[in-house]
Each structure stands twice: as structure tokens, then as C-alpha cells.
């Protein structure tokens, strides 16, 4: 049975098979004439069944539903194409929409990974097996793009869009000031650390993420409704924990580079990860991909801060401490 968190605001737990995230929190706001569904799950039957069953239990007709998607990842966006009807509006961010519109496949990421030490055959295997790749949307429906400060009325709620780039370039949270609640997507999670990856020399996602944490910390929030795992309070405390986590990671990366120049893949292999494996070689391909992307985001941050530099060796990029 969906959980009614506030009057007319429900949580539907959508299973995410094959994903360590386990499930997605989809939020449904019941209105008088139109309803709003926030995030949807993978484009696979288990997710569709859970969504349809949850909507049926709270008497929600899809023909009266609009959708807000916090960001482009398949566990949030993938199912919307099977739920939306001809009358649905689908609210989304412009930066993430542009990424989907200009999508060239995984080849640029594979090439960049190879340049940074990730064996290309392993990266291809990681991307082909990852459920986010296998269970994305069938098609991209028409999107109504939103910007920072835009307001979405839904039922008795007035949600304000808060742009929070970092986890993705166009991630958006929804803030409801009267109820002091934040629907945080994957920007702030209570039990796990949001994955901040970098796969381009033109990006500095960790800098964006840390700035987004500062931005959201200014909000008056009592209740956090995240995209995964438990709902929680202690908003300011959690922001500080996430900030501290990344600064600890930055120190760890600098310490690893004290051993000499190395690729991002090699740095990732020496970082500490919360996974039950005896060694880096035992990591499954998908977690190894996430770990390398995380290592790259911290390396790029340090490089922008001019604390580390790079050199090229045999067609690969090696990073080194400058101090």
C-alpha cells in the first residue's frame, strides 16, 4: 500500500531489480483535476506493475496525470514513456533534456575511459550489463523544460524548482516551503552517498555538487523525500556529512598520488569502497565503472584547484600532485 506522507502526497516504492539501489521512491500528489507523479523507475515490467498497482490503490487515473522527472537516469526517467498519456505534461530540466537530444551513444565515454586507464573491453562490458543502459526509455516524449525558481502547483502544494547540478548536469529538486519539505531526487540521500561521476575534460561535477549542497543548505527544510531508501529529517546534518565525505575523498586521492603519477583507473583501484570484495580485481564491472567515474570527479576537482596536474604517457592521462 502506498505511504501517505502528507495529506494527498504518497510514496510508492518501485523495485529496481539488478540495482544495488534496491528501489526507487516515486511520489504522487493527488489533485482535484490533475495529479503529479515524481519519478517512475526503470522501463521494465516489475517497475510498471508496482507503479500501476500503487496508483490503483490510491485511485489515481493515468489519464489525469502529469510527471516531473528529477533527472535523466533510467531508474527515474525510464518508465515515463509507458505511463504518460496524450494529455500528460512531462516536466524536466533543460540541461538534461539537451544531453538526451545530443546523445551520441557510449563511444565518447569508452574512449575517455580508455584514455584514463580503464580497459575498453571491460568498460564496454560494464555499460552493456548495467540496468540503466538496458532499461531506459523506449522514446523521448515531448518535455516541458523548467528552470530554477519555476513553480509547479500540485494539489494543495506549490513546488519550487531548485536546480542542483552535480549528480547530473540538470538535476532538479522540488521544494515546498509551506510544508518545509524537499523532494531531493539523488541530490541528497540519507543512507548512501550520491554518485558523482565525471567522464569529460569539460566538466567539474564535484564542484557543481558541492555548490549545490551549499545552495540547498539555505532552504528551511524539515522533511527530506529522497529518490532512494528511507525518508529522513536532519537535513543540515546530512548536508554536512556529504560535504565532509567528499573533502575526505579529496585528501585520500591526494595521498594516493603521493606514490607517483597514475591513471584515474589506478587511483580508483586504491581508494576505499564500501563493497564486499577482497581486491579491485574482484569488483564486478558496473561498480568498477562507478568507482572510476567517482575517482575522475575528484581528480578533476583537484586539477581545477591547481593541486594536481597531468601528463601523457603511451596515450593515457596520468595525474600527479603539484604540491
Cα within 13 Å of Cα(170), Cβ side: 18
The pLDDT of residue 281 is 87
- Residue 258 pLDDT greater than 70, yes or no: yes
pLDDT, greater one: 190 or 128: 190
Q: Give how far the C-alpha of residue 117 lies from the chain's centroid of Cα atoms, to the nearest Å.
A: 24
The residues spanned by each domain of the chain are: 3-234
CA-nearest of 120, 127, 105, 122 to 316 is 120
pTM: 0.95
Can you tell me the distance from the alpha carbon of 190 to that of 208, in angstroms, rounded to the nearest whole number?
A: 20
**Residue 162, number of CB atoms within 10 A of its CB:** 22
Q: Which CATH superfamily is domain 3-234 in?
A: Ribonuclease Z/Hydroxyacylglutathione hydrolase-like (3.60.15.10)
262-280: pLDDT as tens digits: 999 999 999 999 888 888 9
Can you tell me the distance from the alpha carbon of 255 to that of 278, in angstroms, rounded to the nearest whole number?
A: 21
295-318: pLDDT as tens digits: 999 999 999 999 999 999 999 999
Instruction: For residue 89, name the pLDDT band (cuts at 50, 70, 90).
Output: very high
| Residue showing cell 551513444 | 105
Write the CB contacts of 116 (distance below 8 Å, at least 6 apart in sequence). 263, 264, 265, 292, 296, 316, 317
- Residue 139 pLDDT greater than 80, yes or no: no
Amino acid at each position: 500500500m502506498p505511504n501517505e506522507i502528507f495529506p494527498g502526497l504518497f510514496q510508492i516504492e518501485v523495485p529496481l531489480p539488478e540495482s544495488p539501489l534496491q528501489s526507487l521512491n516515486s511520489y504522487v500528489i493527488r489533485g482535484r483535476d490533475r495529479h503529479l507523479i515524481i519519478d517512475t523507475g526503470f522501463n521494465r515490467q516489475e517497475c510498471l506493475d508496482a507503479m500501476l498497482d500503487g496508483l490503483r490503490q490510491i485511485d489515481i487515473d493515468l489519464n489525469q496525470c502529469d510527471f516531473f522527472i528529477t533527472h535523466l537516469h533510467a531508474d527515474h526517467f525510464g518508465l515515463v514513456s509507458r505511463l504518460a498519456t496524450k494529455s500528460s505534461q512531462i516536466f524536466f530540466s533543460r540541461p538534461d533534456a539537451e544531453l538526451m537530444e545530443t546523445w551520441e551513444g557510449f563511444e565518447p565515454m569508452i574512449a575517455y575511459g580508455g584514455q584514463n586507464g580503464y580497459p575498453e573491453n571491460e568498460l564496454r562490458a560494464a555499460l552493456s550489463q548495467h540496468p540503466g543502459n538496458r532499461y531506459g526509455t523506449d522514446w523521448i516524449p515531448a518535455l516541458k523544460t523548467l528552470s530554477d525558481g519555476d513553480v509547479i502547483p500540485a494539489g494543495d502544494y506549490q513546488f519550487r524548482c531548485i536546480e542542483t547540478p552535480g549528480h547530473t548536469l540538470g538535476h532538479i529538486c522540488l521544494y515546498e516551503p509551506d510544508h518545509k519539505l524537499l523532494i531531493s531526487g539523488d541530490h541528497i540521500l540519507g543512507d548512501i552517498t550520491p554518485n558523482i561521476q565525471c567522464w569529460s575534460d569539460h566538466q567539474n561535477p564535484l564542484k557543481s555538487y558541492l555548490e549545490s549542497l551549499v545552495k540547498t543548505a539555505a532552504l528551511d527544510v524539515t522533511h527530506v523525500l529522497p529518490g532512494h531508501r528511507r525518508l529522513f529529517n536532519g537535513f543540515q546534518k546530512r548536508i554536512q556529512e556529504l560535504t565532509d565525505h567528499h573533502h575526505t575523498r579529496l585528501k585520500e586521492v591526494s595521498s594516493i598520488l603521493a606514490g607517483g603519477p597514475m591513471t584515474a583507473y589506478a587511483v580508483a583501484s586504491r581508494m576505499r569502497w564500501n563493497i564486499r570484495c577482497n581486491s579491485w580485481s574482484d569488483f564486478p564491472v558496473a561498480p568498477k565503472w562507478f568507482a572510476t567515474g567517482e575517482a575522475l570527479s575528484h581528480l578533476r576537482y583537484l586539477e581545477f584547484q591547481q593541486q594536481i596536474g597531468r601528463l601523457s604517457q603511451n596515450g593515457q592521462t596520468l595525474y600527479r600532485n603539484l604540491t
